[in-house]
């Protein structure tokens, strides 16, 4: 399957998260993104070095600036279970706007065509690192990394394009 690209509509899919009352919730991507401007970014794994020290902190640091430029939602997706995503989100108490969403079986990642097989490293199928700017379900920007790189999918890269 070809990776999602500029001009494509994002597929719908169901992801999981824990709400403020610590209840497990399932949510459709379309319910979060329809009629809104959304940044959808993904990392290969929670608690991994580049993801934890650079990618996520960049979006947290820039969340107010992104909001000021019309971004309604900032969604972080990882191929991890919702319990891991909840624990990872708690390591960023300063965030107000980044939602941490679990794609436990990589189903949504596969629907985007952005899976990355890291089986040789003992990690199984994960997501490629990417950042999409989506406006009313249509991809406006698709910054997709090669391999384990982190060169085009940061918050700064999205801000430059807004």
Looking at residue 130, which CATH number applies to its domain? 3.40.30.10
Flag whether 112 is in a domain: yes
Flag whether 3 is in a domain: no
pLDDT tens, residue by residue, 39-85? 999 998 889 878 787 899 999 999 999 999 999 999 999 999 999 99
Residue span of the structural domain in which 93 resides: 43-160
The fraction of the chain above a pLDDT of 70, given in percent, is: 99
Q: In what order do the strands lie in the sheet with 37-43?
A: 24-28, 14-18, 98-102, 73-78, 37-43, 130-135, 138-144
- pLDDT for 55: 92
Number of domains in the chain: 1
Instruction: Evaluate if residue 122 carries a pLDDT over 80.
Output: no
**Would you place residue 95 in the very low, low, confident or very high pLDDT band (cuts 50, 70, 90)?**
confident
Residue pair 41/57 in contact (Cβ under 8 Å)? The answer is no
Residue range 18-43: average pLDDT? 96
Instruction: Evaluate if residue 125 carries a pLDDT over 90.
Output: no
Active site residues: 51
Flag whether 66 is in a domain: yes
């Amino acid at each position: 399957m070809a990776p999602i690209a500029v001009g494509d509509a994002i597929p719908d899919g169901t992801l999981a998260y824990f709400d403020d009352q610590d209840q497990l919730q399932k949510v459709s991507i379309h319910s979060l993104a329809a009629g809104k401007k959304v940044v959808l970014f993904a990392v290969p794994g929670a608690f991994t070095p580049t993801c934890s020290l650079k990618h996520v902190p960049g979006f947290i640091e820039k969340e107010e600036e992104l909001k000021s430029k019309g971004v309604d939602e900032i969604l972080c997706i990882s191929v991890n279970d919702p319990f891991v995503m909840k624990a990872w989100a708690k390591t960023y108490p300063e965030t107000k706007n980044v939602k941490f969403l679990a794609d436990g079986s990589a189903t949504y990642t596969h629907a985007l065509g952005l899976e990355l097989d890291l089986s040789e490293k003992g990690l199984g199928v994960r997501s490629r690192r990417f950042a999409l700017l989506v406006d009313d379900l249509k991809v406006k920007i698709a910054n997709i990394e090669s391999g384990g790189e982190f060169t085009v999918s940061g918050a700064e890269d999205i801000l430059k394009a807004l």
